[in-house]
Amino acid sequence: MVRLIQVGMGGMGNAWLRAVGGSDEAEYAGLVEIDEAIARKQCDAYDLNPGTVYATLSEALGRLEADGVLVITPPQFHREQSVEALRAGVPVLSEKPLADTMEAAAEIVTAADETGVLHMVAQNYRYSVPVQTLKSVLDSGAVGQVGAATVRFFRGPHFGGFRESMAHPLIVDMSIHHFDMMRYLLGREVVQVRGFAFNPAWSWFDGDASAHLSLSCEGQVQVGYHASWCSQGAETPWNGEWRFECEGGVVTLEGDRVLVYRPGAEPEPVPEVALPRTGQSYLLHEFVEALRGGPRPATTCQDNIRSLEIVFRALSAVGSGD
């Protein structure tokens, strides 16, 4: 069994506590949680030994033998925790986003490059049945090349906590998923972002929780992105709803179902791709396989910094009004 240290037990830590707890490949060497109340609550909820919980990563690394570190903390802590683990020679699987600034992300990439130690980012939206089904259709060429795409995302989550006080909660904490999906599905990099962000009067977020963006990709492929985290109804799935304009028709992801529309024909439902694992379970398996000498994960920090770069291009665009 691969032995892991998880840093951060609350919030998104729940998803990873479930993933590791249900894995036949990985187990906990220990956990790190600065909030004693959260640590006690989670130890009770997941039947964990309180004696394996430490207040800092430094303490855990000094006392435990571990094969990997899961960094499941707010973005502003990712640089310190990731770099510490990498410099100690311990591979990292980190929650997205890679970091809270491009400078911090670059430091993580530098540490990974200089040490040769794996750093992987948890872009779990890639590894769902709907997204893999959509990817299979686009990659098959059955509807020809993609010329443009439109993405719609509308939800109204009440998270509480740090997200509701962020300056740009949607773009920084949510849109990173869709930007990463964009790169993955199109197989192209984003070269320019324009648009604006705003916050409706009824929003419960302090910062801008809605955005309309126009993204230009390599090969002159254009993407329209319309999204909100303070929608009051008619919500989309978390994956969003996607429409790809192709030379031989249109491919859509609607209600997490993939459809192909051809001129003059009825829409064709696409059979779902079968996946033995999805989401965090898939990412954990991919990380474990890499630690055992298997293939290098697709979402290493060296690749994922390009998805994060789109976030900061978007922030620059909405900040300037371009």
Q: What is the pLDDT of residue 320?
A: 57
Whether residues 203 and 261 fall in one domain:
yes
Confidence of residue 162 (pLDDT cuts 50, 70, 90): confident
Whether residues 100 and 156 fall in one domain:
no
Q: Is there a domain that residue 210 lies in? A: yes
Q: Is there a domain that residue 109 lies in? A: yes
**In the predicted model, what is the mean pLDDT of residues 92-106?**
96
Whether residues 153 and 260 fall in one domain:
yes
The CATH number of the domain holding residue 271 is 3.30.360.10
In terms of Cβ atoms closer than 10 Å to its own Cβ (0-12, 13-18, 19+), residue 193 is buried
Whether residues 111 and 132 fall in one domain:
no
Residues 6-32 pLDDT 10s: 999 999 999 999 999 999 999 999 999
Q: Is there a domain that residue 296 lies in? A: no
Q: Is there a domain that residue 290 lies in? A: no
Whether residues 183 and 70 fall in one domain:
no
Answer yes or no: is pLDDT of 321 > 70. no
CA 257 to chain CA centroid, Å, is 21
* pTM of this structure: 0.93
Q: In one letter, which amino acid is 239?
A: N
CA-nearest of 76, 65, 74 to 95 is 74
Q: Is there a domain that residue 304 lies in? A: no
Residues 28-51 pLDDT 10s: 999 999 999 999 999 999 999 999
**67, 96, 122 — which closes off a domain?**
122
Whether residues 65 and 41 fall in one domain:
yes
Q: Is there a domain that residue 281 lies in? A: no
Whether residues 105 and 67 fall in one domain:
yes
* Residues 6+ away with beta carbon under 8 Å from 63: 30, 54
**122, 147, 182 — which closes off a domain?**
122
In terms of Cβ atoms closer than 10 Å to its own Cβ (0-12, 13-18, 19+), residue 151 is buried
Residues 62-83 pLDDT 10s: 999 999 999 999 999 999 999 9
Whether residues 135 and 191 fall in one domain:
yes
Q: 93 lies in which domain range?
A: 2-122
* Residues 6+ away with beta carbon under 8 Å from 186: 138, 146, 149, 217, 221, 223
Q: Is there a domain that residue 235 lies in? A: yes
The CATH number of the domain holding residue 53 is 3.40.50.720
Number of domains in the chain: 2
**85, 101, 122 — which closes off a domain?**
122
Whether residues 69 and 189 fall in one domain:
no
31, containing H or E segment = strand 26-32
The token duo for 186 is 């199109």
Whether residues 270 and 194 fall in one domain:
yes
Distance CA 104, CA 30 (A): 26
Whether residues 29 and 118 fall in one domain:
yes
Q: 53-54 and 268-269 as β-strands: parallel, antiparallel, unpaired?
A: unpaired
Residues 170-207 pLDDT 10s: 999 899 999 999 999 999 999 999 999 999 999 999 99
Answer yes or no: is pLDDT of 106 > 80. yes
Q: Is there a domain that residue 208 lies in? A: yes
Whether residues 16 and 51 fall in one domain:
yes
Average pLDDT, rounded, for the chain: 96
CA-nearest of 167, 160, 159, 161 to 206 is 167
Confidence of residue 299 (pLDDT cuts 50, 70, 90): very high
